[in-house]
Amino acid sequence: MAKPYGTTDIKASALELIGNTPLVALDRIWPGPGRILAKCEFMNPGASIKDRSSLSMIQRALNSGKLKPNGPIVEVTSGNQGCGLAVVAAVLKHPLTLTMSAGNSPQRASMMRALGAKVVLAPQVEGKPGYVTLADVTQAENLGLKLVADTGAYYVNQFNNEDNPKGHEEHMGPEIWRQTGGHIDVFVATVGTAGTFVGVSRYLKKQNKDIKCVVVEPEGAQVIKGDPVTKPMHVLQGSGYGKVPQLFKFETMDFTVGVSDAEAIQYKNLLAEKEGLYMGYTSGANVAAAVRLLKSGKVPKDAWIVTLLNDSGLKYPADN
């Protein structure tokens, strides 16, 4: 007689671990009035929000025939997109080559290599370790484009790939709406490729046009706001490159908030000390912006603000 077993809950692969991240209240940092709620994107298998767009872009490329099964892939990354792509490529058996500025965190390069990717570092031309400028990213991009030309590999092209925001609109947006029960007044997020911000904001505004969607930019590089770049180097790796991203749609944004390096570091530390969450710098910036909004009077005092914990603090040098 067969032994009766209970119902199982087993994921087929790491790809099924991507998304459906918890929403946590940051009540110890902000006890009220109002509330700051944060999506735990560091809980994705690649330890960042970029796992979502990685899966979306690769799945859609395979479905369209642009990428062949087991075909080679090349991408330019600041690290998180590369880690996400490395997770997907490992499971789907795609050779993956990633180019990255040498100024990005070495911890990210180590993780990408551990996941089986080949990582090619581009020398910095303007910034310094931990501070990557648009010129540095362009150097890595040129290196990636040469590899594509030489090998014929599929180029993900995250900054111009419309399948980037689609994944966020179809998955993260609905998750936030479900997890809050539709009680959300403000969405706050930093912008790198703009895939997350545009996709989530587009979905939320379809549900309630009165939801305010706010871009977080590093002070001195607030180009979406329309200000000139006066400080191209800042700690928000993967964000605030001093150029409006190709994927950015101004109709999805209500206004912007600038955050200083000091504020990003302060709230990165407070996330660890008060909430037990060891996060990266853009997560600190997101929370700093949410606190600033609740103090500013730009949003109702009792507003529920949803923001993002983009990646783990383990992806950065401990003494940075």
pLDDT, tens digit (0-9, with 9 covering 90-100), for 301-319: 999 999 999 999 999 987 6
Is residue 196 over pLDDT 60? yes
Query: What is the rounded CA–CA span in Å between residue 190 and residue 118?
Result: 28
pLDDT computed for residue 134 by the predictor:
86
pTM: 0.94
The span from the CA of 303 to the CA of 320, in Å, is: 33
Q: What is the pLDDT of residue 131?
A: 87
What is the tens place of the pLDDT at every residue in 223-271?
Answer: 999 999 999 889 998 898 889 999 999 999 999 999 999 999 999 999 9
Domain boundaries, the chain: 14-43+171-315, 50-155
How is residue 218 written in tokens? 């590093």
Q: State in Å, rounded, how far the first CA of the chain is from the last one.
A: 61
CATH of 50-155, one of 3.40.50.300, 3.20.20.70, 3.40.50.1100, 3.10.450.50: 3.40.50.1100
Residues 214, 125: Cα–Cα separation, whole Å:
32
* pLDDT recorded at residue 160: 95
**For 136-150, how does the pLDDT look when each residue is reduced to its tens digit (9 = 90+)?**
989 999 999 999 999
pLDDT for res 319: 62
Q: Is the pLDDT of residue 123 over 90?
A: yes
Quick check: 111 pLDDT over 90? yes
How high is the pLDDT of residue 12?
97
User: Cβ distance 270 to 31 under 8 Å?
Assistant: no
What is the residue-averaged pLDDT of the chain?
Answer: 96
Q: For domain 14-43+171-315, give the CATH number.
A: 3.40.50.1100
Q: What is the pLDDT of residue 1?
A: 63
pLDDT at 56 over 90: yes
- 14-43+171-315 shares its CATH topology with 50-155: yes
CA-nearest of 154, 17, 11 to 87 is 17
Give me 220's structure tokens.
């001195």
Q: How many CB atoms lie within 10 A of CB 125?
A: 12
Q: Looking at the predicted structure, is the pLDDT value of residue 130 above 90?
A: no
* Helix (H) or strand (E) run with residue 196 in it: helix 195-207
Q: Considering the chain, what percentage of its residues have pLDDT values greater than 90?
A: 91
Q: Residue 4: which pLDDT band, with cuts at 50, 70 and 90?
A: confident
The predicted structure's pLDDT at residue 153: 97
